[in-house]
């Protein structure tokens, strides 16, 4: 098999993560203080893929270019491909055809996280050389996904349906696909769906109908589509679970329990941090408690407050809260504070450059 290329889709508008995504690309929202997009790029590099194309939208493309750069720090070479409108995954494949040329490739949705990366899957694709290899996982709500129906004994893909009213199985397509160049022919042969998009499920179904080899692989580990708040927080939890303890910041009368990463330049003063958690570079945690599954971004301040199971983007502050903030996602440079009143629990999802004062 010829050398594989990679294609990462990062052009979506991220409507389910608003207001965060009014000012930032959803693929750059961090999980455990690392943009979700970077996990996909790193997974491709680990699988031996060196040429990576990233589909970007006109609205958020510059931000993604600035964040990921030329790919050299990941060990890949990145080519940016502008998709003028979000007209479906198969449309994205056609948009990237000049970059992909006649190479087989891996397509990865830029807001997805897959446990263990894709090294073994790429190896299986290279070994078996099917026309397409799709990843599937069992989900409780298959009507919200593209769904696969497999043949007898789970061998071969018989049918694919996009967001079916009556799902033929509970096996949803995970956001990782592997294709030969024949997918370009398939994408050109199909018509837009009822929602006006060229669906990748229709293109793969075309391959099935043409008698081409379409294999599937059931994902045994976890997979997360980080397009919603609860999924972001769960992905944050799962990634933090993999961390090893590393304390490089300054501790002043502070206590750090368990798997906690404290980046250089961070200061913990009269504070307690219980892992798994990460405190970003230059953050200040003073007279505060940081509970498990919390990612505090670079330059954040948490003072006289308690924060647990939350994500704070860089430059945000939570002060004088007199209660616990939990299951929250704060954008960049958010300010949350309150006066001295009865303690209570708070849950927030706040976009960038916001300020909330609680009386």
- Beta pairing partners, 52: 6, 78
Residue 276's Cβ-count burial label (10 Å; 0-12, 13-18, 19+) is buried
Please tell me the predicted confidence (pLDDT) of residue 340.
41
Segment 15-45, tens digit of pLDDT: 554 444 445 677 888 999 999 999 999 999 9
First-to-final CA distance of the chain: 64
Distance (Å, whole) CA 106 – CA 242: 25
Say what the pLDDT of residue 232 is. 87
How would residue 257 be classed by pLDDT, with cut points 50, 70 and 90? Answer: very high
What pLDDT is stored for residue 25 in this prediction?
75
Give the predicted TM-score (pTM) of the model: 0.86
Assess whether pLDDT exceeds 70 at residue 187: yes
Question: HSE (CB half, 13 Å, CA atoms) of 149?
Answer: 12
Regarding predicted confidence, which is higher, 297 or 144?
297
Given the structure tokens 């837009």, which residue do they identify?
192
Q: Is 168 helix (H, G, I), strand (E, B) or coil?
A: coil
Q: Is the pLDDT of residue 241 over 50?
A: yes
pLDDT (tens digit per residue) in 343-353 = 455 555 555 55
Q: In Å, how far from its chain's centre is CA 52?
A: 17
∠101-102-104 over CA atoms, to 5°? 110
Which of these, 248, 299, 301, lies nearest to 271 by C-alpha position?
301
Q: pLDDT at residue 180 above 80?
A: yes
**Quick check: 92 pLDDT over 70?**
yes
Looking at per-residue pLDDT, the higher value among 49 and 352 belongs to: 49
Q: Provide the β-strand partners of residue 179.
A: 105, 132
- The mean pLDDT value for 227-236 works out to 86
Please name the helix (run of DSSP H) or strand (run of DSSP E) that holds residue 46, with its range, or none.
helix 36-46
Q: Considering only 190-199, 225-234, 326-335, which range has the smallest mean pLDDT?
A: 225-234
């Amino acid at each position: 098999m010829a050398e594989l290329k990679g294609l990462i889709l990062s052009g979506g508008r991220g409507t389910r993560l608003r207001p965060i995504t009014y000012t930032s690309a959803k693929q750059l929202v961090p999980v455990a203080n690392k943009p979700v997009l970077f996990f996909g790029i790193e997974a491709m590099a680990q699988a031996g893929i060196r040429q990576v194309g990233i589909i970007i939208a006109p609205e958020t493309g510059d931000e993604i270019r600035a964040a990921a750069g030329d790919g050299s720090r990941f060990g890949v070479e990145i080519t940016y491909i502008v998709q003028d409108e979000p007209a479906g995954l198969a449309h994205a494949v056609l948009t990237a055809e000049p970059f992909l040329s006649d190479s087989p490739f891996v397509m990865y949705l830029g807001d997805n996280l897959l446990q263990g990366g894709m090294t073994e899957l790429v190896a299986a694709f290279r070994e078996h050389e099917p026309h397409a290899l799709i990843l599937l996982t069992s989900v409780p709500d298959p009507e919200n996904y593209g769904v696969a129906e497999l043949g007898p004994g789970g061998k071969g893909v018989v049918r694919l349906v996009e967001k079916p009213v009556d799902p033929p199985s509970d096996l949803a397509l995970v956001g990782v696909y592997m294709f030969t160049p024949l997918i370009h022919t398939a994408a050109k042969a199909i018509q837009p769906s009822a929602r006006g998009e060229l669906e990748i499920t229709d293109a793969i179904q075309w391959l099935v109908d043409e008698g081409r080899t379409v294999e599937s692989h059931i994902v045994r580990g976890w997979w997360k589509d980080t397009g919603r708040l609860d999924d972001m927080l769960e992905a944050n939890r799962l990634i933090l679970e993999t961390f090893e303890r590393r304390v490089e910041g300054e501790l002043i009368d502070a206590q750090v329990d368990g798997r906690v990463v404290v980046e250089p330049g961070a200061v913990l003063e009269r504070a307690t941090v219980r892992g798994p958690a990460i405190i970003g570079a230059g953050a200040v945690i003073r007279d505060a408690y940081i509970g498990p599954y919390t990612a505090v971004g670079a330059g954040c301040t948490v003072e006289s407050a308690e924060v647990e199971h939350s994500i704070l983007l860089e430059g945000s502050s939570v002060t004088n809260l007199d209660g616990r903030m939990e299951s929250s996602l704060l954008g960049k440079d958010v300010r949350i504070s309150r006066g001295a009143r009865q303690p209570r629990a708070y849950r927030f999802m706040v976009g960038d450059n916001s300020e909330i004062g609680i009386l």
